[in-house]
Structure 1
Amino acid sequence: MRRRLFPTLLVLAALAGCGDQAGSAGRTADGTFEIVTAFYPLQFLSERIGGDMVSVTNLTKPGAEPHDIELTPRQVGDVAAAGLAVYIKGFQPAVDEAIDLEAKDKAFDAASAVTLLPAGGEDDHGHEHEEAAGGEDPHVWLDPVRLATIADQLAERLAQADPGHAAGYTERARALHTELTTLNTEFADGLKNCQRRELVTSHTAFAYLAARYDLHQVGITGISPEAEPSPQRLAAVAKEARETGTTTIYFETLVSPAVAETIAREVGAKTAVLDPLEGLVDQTGDYFSVMRQNLTALTSGLGCS
């Protein structure tokens, strides 16, 4: 059960965090605008758009699985002291709670910039996920087109919060939008002609990517990577993998590959990494390098030419 952060703790932590700041509200001692981000893709956007004009703190440590993180008092203080908090509402309950209590008037919900897909329910072939239907899928960053829209709106929000550097935010967001458009073209071209379009994944993080490029996601588990699939679900996925001639079962970087390996053995397939980019494992890479690695894994596993 998730431990809750009570308001008293949040207030005390916020006061402690503010006390650590030598600069004015929302700025470091040297005047740099402070941004707190919930997890890696939002850190990436903030750093690329903010450039040297911002200082970015990521609440999810490298290599940590972000869904159920808990915040330390110091991190809650960081939220309270920042000039802008960037998050996706509904993805990380502890972050939602801290922002609701300490930064509601200076927060940017990245998901509010785009149309979201429903979470849970059935996959593209009518098989029910382990999780009940309801809510919205937060994994918008895996669609470069949606991420470009989020980048544009984040730049606008930064320009409002820090108008002295608005032109720079706009210029860098425009350049990032162009790069994301190029990435979208690479995915569209790379996944146009494939022998298979079924995407069997360890959990259903890839609905946006699948929808953008006409793939059919089959998740072993639902939105939460920690969910345990039932024997019936494992049997259903194995059956579908055999029927569709699936040769690759994809697992992700921050959770155990055991379930994907079980399905792969059952159907005589191999396994490969498909990174949902919820956290950056290799600190020498970035969003673009990991997405291009994903494209290579997809074109190989799906038999694309």
Structure 2
Amino acid sequence: MKKTCLRSLGLVALVMVTACGNNQGADEDNELLLIKTSIFPYEDWTKAIGGDFVNVENIVPTGADAHTYEPTPQEMIEVAEADLFIYNGAELEPFADSILSAIENQSVHVLEGSAQTHLIESDHDHEHDHDEHTHVSPIVEEGDTEIKGLQDHYHSGDSVTLSVEDDSEWVWYTRTDNEGWEQASEEPSTSFTLPADQDNLQVKAIQYDEEDTVISTSDTVLILIDDHDDHHHGDQDPHVWLDPIRSIEIAQSIRDTLTELLPEQEDYFNENFQTLEAQFHELDEAFVDLVETSQGDRFIVSHAGYGYWQQRYGLKQIGIAGISPTSEPSQTELIQTVETAQELGLRYVFFEPNITPRVAEIVQDHLEAEALLIHPLEALTEEDKENNEDYFSLMYQNVNALEKALN
């Protein structure tokens, strides 16, 4: 029924858009670009970069959720009259396809945010939320030391850089399934870089003393290569704006698109982008400091939308619901969530301001845990607007809340 409604909505909007004729584009007098966005971060960044030369409006209203929102035909017409439509993609917004179909023949530039960077895989299997190694390649054999820097998968030609926390120097080895270990590093070092040109390659590091006696052995990890298209199938985590470093890549694309539309303001847009980029790096440093100074590294949250913090910083989420806040776990998965939280001694449960699944409240009651607020930033609340919150103020609130939960 929902798909039928969306198709009907797109058809009605398409007819109405066509009847309206071509969009007016930027105001010729003041060169003001009309821009529509689908989520708050893109609205906020576009305003920061575009400054005096943009009029930015977010389609999803205050207090709503991009996962479930359906725009009206009038809103779709307004998108068709804009100069630029910025949406996230990666199946975050079910309405995106209808809008794209409706504006296909209009002179509207389109920017898909998630397509500007590399996405990580989402957790389809709820049990994986409790796995210590979610979002990293499999551990073939556990050792004395954990290997850092491993991604969930690589593409052919990628550069794989692994490291160990220990400041001592290690000798690195590789092998395939049916071969013996071969020394891969010419000199001992704390890090090792190799090309992603062989699937299912195993890697480990060994530390020796002066007499070549083994002191310590790292985990043996598996390098996985997956050359499927990251941006057009539904097994990717769409919440990419929560990663400050990936956000820089998206903001760069916003700057470049604005420059394409108003090339005479290139210096202005670039200067604003550089200010924004510095703020992203400061936020990244705040997350790094959080991890380095916190006692724990796991948190329990109402829905598993925070995988990018795990991939970037090692902050491991236990998601009560799946990648979408509207999904609910089975009874078995719910029991596993409670048991895992009890085993780890977690005494805080994070809830999101716009949507709080009923099951999250059940988990909170069973754990007798304190509730903390975590903000997904897809859309503002009325309170956020009253307080003039922006992307960075809300992200720093998340950092402060995590600091409390992890300590």
Same fold (TM over 0.5): yes
Alignment of 1:59-208 (within 5 A): 59-89=59-89, 90-103=91-104, 106-122=109-125, 123=128, 125-126=130-131, 134-208=234-308
Once the two structures are superposed, residues 37-65 of structure 1 have per-residue CA deviations (whole angstroms, 9 ceiling, x without a partner) of 01111111111111010111210001111
- Partner letter of residue 130 of structure 2? H
Matching residue of 1:8: 11
Structure 1 residue 103: Cα displacement = 4.6
Structure with more strand by fraction: 2
Matching residue of 1:299: 403
Runs of 4+ with deviation above 6 angstroms: none
Q: Give the number of the structure whose alpha-carbon radius of gyration is greater.
A: 2
Give yes or no for contact 2:85–2:110 (8 Å, CA) kept in 1: yes
CA distance in 2, matches of 1:296, 1:135: 30
Give yes or no for contact 1:250–1:271 (8 Å, CA) kept in 2: yes
Matched residue SS, 1:107: strand
Counterparts in 2 of 1:103 and 1:29: CA distance versus 1, 3 Å? farther
- Partner letter of residue 390 of structure 2? D
- Partner letter of residue 262 of structure 1? I
Q: Unaligned stretches of 5+ in structure 2? A: 135-232
Q: Number of residues paired by the alignment?
A: 296
Structure 1 residue 227: Cα displacement = 1.1
Matching residue of 2:362: 262
Would you say 1:247 and 2:247 are equivalent positions? no
Structure 1 residue 186: Cα displacement = 1.1
Alignment of 1:211-250 (within 5 A): 211-250=311-350
Structure 1 residue 18: Cα displacement = 5.7
Once the two structures are superposed, residues 87-131 of structure 1 have per-residue CA deviations (whole angstroms, 9 ceiling, x without a partner) of 11221121232124415861001111110011233435349x9xx
Matched residue SS, 1:35: strand
TM-score relative to the length of structure 1: 0.90
How many percent of aligned residue pairs carry the same amino acid? 30
Structure 1 residue 257: Cα displacement = 5.4
Once the two structures are superposed, residues 218-260 of structure 1 have per-residue CA deviations (whole angstroms, 9 ceiling, x without a partner) of 1111011111222111100001001111111111011125422
- Partner letter of residue 125 of structure 1? H
TM-score relative to the length of structure 2: 0.68
CA distance in 1, matches of 2:63, 2:266: 33
Give yes or no for contact 1:26–1:84 (8 Å, CA) kept in 2: no
- Partner letter of residue 47 of structure 2? E
Matching residue of 2:46: 46
- Partner letter of residue 296 of structure 1? N
Counterparts in 2 of 1:190 and 1:126: CA distance versus 1, 3 Å? closer
Structure 1 residue 27: Cα displacement = 4.0
Residue range with higher mean Cα deviation, 116-125 or 209-218: 116-125
CA distance in 2, matches of 1:288, 1:114: 20
CA distance in 2, matches of 1:189, 1:18: 53
- Partner letter of residue 116 of structure 1? L
Alignment of 1:19-34 (within 5 A): 24-27=24-27, 30-34=30-34
